[in-house]
Amino acid sequence: MKKNIAILIIIFFTFSCSLTDSIDQDPPNNLVPENVVQNEDDARAILNGAYSKIISFSSSHYYMYSELIPSALIGSMSRVSASATDEQFSENDILFDNGTVNAFWSIFYGVIDASNTAIALTDQLPESEITLETKKEIIGEAHFIRAMATFDALRYFGQFYDTNSSLGVILRTEPVNFVTRSKSRSSVTESYDQIINDLNIAIADAPDFSVSYRASKTAARALKARVLLFMGRYAEAAALANEVIIEGTRSLSPDFTSVFDEGLDSTEMILMTYRDENSDVDDNNRKRFYPGRAGTTWFPVLMGEDPRAAVTFNAGRVLKTNNVDTFRPTYFIRLSELYLIQAEALLMSGASVETSKIPLDIIRNRAGIDNTAATTVEELKNDIFNEYVKELAFENGSEWFAAIRMNKAMELKPSITSENQYILPIPEKEIEGNELISLADQNPGY
């Protein structure tokens, strides 16, 4: 395992640095295929380059900022950093030239570009150099990674909450070069369609689940259930979440504390970053550089005396995602979220309160609290939201996006006064460097 991580580090510095940065104004030509991918080992190296951007040891903008930014936006964390620029997230007053916004956009599109390169170059390999099954698996994994990054780009930079909106994201399905650099925004529906298509390919062709730090059919089904929930396709989301739950590949840990104490060995982790003693060092894990910063307003009040509170934060210090014993990993998807997705989707699809309670109570009981006492739709919606916060705080923006879906954001944070603040501005560099994007294409309010 240590050897594999060492390989990833080498790949990151030798390959991903030469990938086209999708927001550069003058991007270089992509790597010449015949000089990069000549056999199966090369194809796997290219794929690992895409993974390395998600767990990038030289950039915190995916693995750490996907925790900090949404938490600061909703107030479960008090701030992103001490910088004046990052204070804009806590105040929900973000400028379009914000450097962190630019870096966030850049890392999503860097991952998308790396995935596109892996898909394109692996697909060109002849049968003499790679088996058809291996080719399909590598391309399936790359489609999952592209779907994940595209969905993250959409939910931070596009009006993901309105499928009728024209303000989706820039869809990139081929490596960026001089010819493909400039591209217009797609609609929200077109963006979702691309994400679902990628996930369907991953469900069909990605490997079966083996480890929690690689893409798999299970991870693709779980992410698709989340995407369907965001799309408002509730019956489908509930059914797919149930598929992931009953397939038995993953199972809930016996108690909440064990989930984070066991790290990579946790039975309920579906997708997380790989961390060990070699990667959790000053230069490789930026989480060492931020102190705990749990929110001080609505968040500790809502957490109250819930048994999960002591594992999640203490005296303002974030604990769960900064767990020293498990080397501070980032949690992208775990099984408990699928139970909450199922509960929310059942309720929103018109299922009875009693039916919708069932998956919710499983998570509550695992945490050591009683079944919900909700008897109405609104009461149960409130309890489901509370469980997203108590169960998934600081994990991949779960509490931020649940607050938006359930109309809680403006209620919880007075500085949020408009739906325009639900998404970030398209970065200044993208507008300057993309001939098909202008100020007229900027998100409302910016």
Instruction: Enumerate the β-bridge partners of residue 318.
Output: 313
Q: What is the pLDDT of residues 426-439, one digit of tens each?
A: 999 999 999 999 99
CA distance 35 to 412: 54
As given in the structure block, the two tokens for residue 39 are 């056999």
3-state secondary structure of 73: helix
Which pLDDT tens digit goes with each residue over 383-422? Answer: 999 999 999 999 999 999 999 999 999 999 999 999 999 9
User: What is the rounded CA–CA span in Å between residue 2 and residue 276?
Assistant: 8
CA–CA separation, 291 and 289 (whole Å):
7
Give the residues of the chain that fall short of pLDDT 50.
1-34
Which residues on adjacent β-strands are paired with residue 333? 271
Give the pair of three-digit tokens for residue 231: 């799309």
Cα(353)–Cα(355) distance, integer angstroms: 6
Cα atoms found within 13 Å of the Cα of residue 344, Cβ hemisphere only: 28
**Predicted TM-score (pTM) of this structure:** 0.91
What is the predicted pLDDT for the residue at 385?
98
CB atoms within 10 A of CB 302: 18
Identify the architecture of domain 2-429 in CATH: Alpha Horseshoe (1.25)
Cross-strand bridge partners of residue 313: 318
Q: How far are the Cα atoms of 115, 160, 218 from residue 338, in angstroms, in the given order?
A: 26, 20, 11
Q: How far apart, in Å, do the first and last CA atoms of the chain sit?
A: 46
| Residues paired with 352 in a beta bridge | none
Report how far Cα 397 is from the mean position of its chain's Cα atoms. 8
CA atoms within 13 A on the CB side of 100: 23
For the chain, helix (H) and strand (E) counts, in that order, are 19, 4
Q: For the chain, what are the domain ranges? A: 2-429
Longest dimension (CA), the chain: 64
Contact present, 207 and 137 (Cβ < 8 Å): yes
pLDDT digits (tens, 9 = 90+) for 87-111: 999 999 999 999 999 999 999 999 9
Three-state SS for 332?
A: strand
The reported pLDDT for the residue numbered 53 is 86
Question: What are the two backbone dihedrals, phi and then psi, of residue 38, each rounded to the nearest 5 degrees?
Answer: -120, -15
The whole-angstrom separation of Cα 95 and Cα 93 is 7
Q: What is the DSSP letter of 251?
A: -
